[in-house]
Structure 1
């Protein structure tokens, strides 16, 4: 059965409300939670960006069953990889082994706050070095590491869960899929891309988890949902090569000015139609994903969405 997740969107919700959403999502029957790890929102209209790891600690304490996952942490600029490993191990302990660390090469939007944003080729090198540091630390090794980008003279994690924290890595092509296969336990891909899943299988990922994320906007009024999606989610229509490079929310506002409500509504199902939202999920299932997390766009609709998910969406998905 495909796991169904719920996204804690730090860009659109404050920290206390995120913890409340996590508790309600567990009650509703979701299998896992993913949380975005950003310094800025994508657009000013979203209006939030609390520290994801503080929220995760509170969520780990406030929940008991539901699995937890970052989506996605960048370990190459804003955080040193050795510190990412320590944070992940601590959340693993606090959650009694419910946590998965998901990693990726990040975006300028969030990482430039501590210095210049590296070139894409350098970022990929840095991500591989980060994995070479994080993986052994989570496995309980004493680590000394000297790379082109990172130095770890000596490190050891004193508090770790009994089972090492699993690592998932975002991939979109052959190079990143190779990183997943060599260093990680699971694949992450933002699009229902069957080709990436096939590459992962061919590289040795058969039988391992593949995580995706489907954005929707449930609500009784389709037009109102479209306005919400255009106001808060139109940045998602941009190509990832653009999204990775823009430096701030004002840049995303400018870059997405040309996107109309009807354009973004083609990417994000809007309104009360259950089957339209199920279809967004099904695309990932058909592409070979094992776990799919919903993003409910818009902060105002979260309580209504969670009630609807418990009563209608999750029972329908269990039928698939």
Structure 2
């Protein structure tokens, strides 16, 4: 049986709100937490973007649930040696209940220091080298590294957990999925794609967890829920590589007219139909996912957690 977790959206909520949502998730019966790692929100309507490592520190004191970033880009905005230190500290704070989810990133968050945003093939090379560096640092030994993309000299993490931090790799296409199978301790993707799960397991991921996530908008008024998704998260329905290459929230806002309310209605679970919420999560379970995370879009967080505690999770976990 899969585990079910809650996905905290740093793009939409302030730090104290995220900590309170973590508490509500634990009380509702969710088994773990994901938390996004952004420098910018996708648009100004979302309106937030706190530093994820500070928020995880607060969450570690508020709940006992495992926590994972979904996902951190350890390649451009922050050097992998620094990400390794942050991840190791989070693992110590959570008594080993932290996993580091990583991916090749988006220009929206990573180009802010003025570096050229590399093409996808180079970003994947950088990610694989970053994973190697972080794994070496998690040993607690002093390392030096002179690679194609990074230099590390005489670096040692003195605060490390008893076991190395697991690194799960995000992938949405064949190349990234192959990298996840080759270099990751698990695989993260946001679509219930059985073909990608099979590729991951056959490519070296056998026995490693597959983790997925989805967004919903619970509400008693379905039309209002659709409008909420359309206002806050139209970016999730943009096609192609735009999510990886557009550099600022205003560029995503300029493309919002491409996403209609009808598209939201057809592609996002909105409203309070229990069956629809269960079906979208079961699609991941049927595709072979081991852990499935759900995020509530919009302000009615307490209503969502009450709904899932009483109507959804009991049917999924029985």
The answer to whether TM tops 0.5 is yes
Contact 2:182 2:204 in 1 (8 A): no
**Secondary structure at 1:211's aligned position in 2?**
strand
User: What is the CA–CA distance in structure 1 between the aligned matches of 2:264 and 2:131, rounded to whole Å?
Assistant: 35
Give 1:124-273 correspondences, 5 Å limit: 124-273=124-273
Distance change (3 Å), C-alpha of 1:172 and 1:258: closer
For residues 76-115 of structure 1, the aligned pairs below 5 Å read 76-115=75-114
Q: Equivalents in 1 of 2:114, 2:295: separation in Å? A: 30
Where do 5+ consecutive residues of structure 2 fail to align?
A: none
Aligned equivalents of 1:229 and 1:177: distance in 2?
A: 29
Question: CA offset at residue 240 of structure 1?
Answer: 4.6
Q: 1:146 to 1:75 in 2, by over 3 A?
A: same
Instruction: Provide Cα deviations, 1:30-67, integer angstroms capped at 9, x if missing partner.
Output: 11100010011111111111111100010011112x11
Q: Match for residue 72 of structure 1?
A: 71
Structure 1 residues 239 and 87 mapped into 2: Cα distance closer, same or farther (>3 Å)?
same
The range that moved more, 133-142 or 25-34, is 133-142
Contact 1:229 1:265 in 2 (8 A): no
Tell me, in whole angstroms, the C-alpha distance in 1 between the residues paired with 2:163 and 2:308: 31
2:135 and 2:164 in contact (8 A); partners too: no
Q: Is the 8 A contact 1:211 1:292 kept in 2?
A: yes
Give the Cα separation in 2 of the matches to 1:127 and 1:239: 24
Distance between the aligned counterparts of 2:170 and 2:221, measured in 1? 34
Instruction: Name the CA distance, whole Å, in 2 between partners of 1:133 and 1:217.
Output: 39
Deviation by residue 1:187-244 (Cα, 9 ceiling, x = unmatched): 0011111111111111121221101001111111101100001001111011251110
TM-score with structure 1 setting the length: 0.96
**SS of the residue aligned with 1:77?**
coil
The answer (yes or no) to whether the contact 1:135–1:183 under 8 Å persists in 2 is: no
Q: What is the RMSD of the two structures over their aligned residues, measured on CA atoms?
A: 1.2
State the SS of the aligned residue for 2:286.
helix
Matched, 1:26 2:21: no
The answer to whether the 8 Å contact 2:181/2:201 transfers is: no
Give me the whole-angstrom Cα distance separating, in 2, the residues matched to 1:306 and 1:101.
25
Q: Give how far 1:182 is off.
A: 2.7
Counterpart Cα distance in 2 of 1:194 and 1:136: 32
CA distance in 2, matches of 1:203, 1:103: 18
Distance 2:239 2:140 in 1: 39
**CA–CA distance in structure 1, aligned partners of residues 154 and 180 of structure 2:** 25
Q: May I ask how many residue pairs the two structures share in their alignment?
A: 317
Segments of 4+ in structure 1 off by > 4 A? Answer: none
Name whichever of 30-39 and 259-268 sits farther off: 259-268
Gaps of 5+ in 1: none
Contact 1:70 1:102 in 2 (8 A): yes
Distance in 1 between residues matched to 2:229 and 2:258, nearest whole Å: 14
* 288-297 or 136-145, which deviates more: 136-145
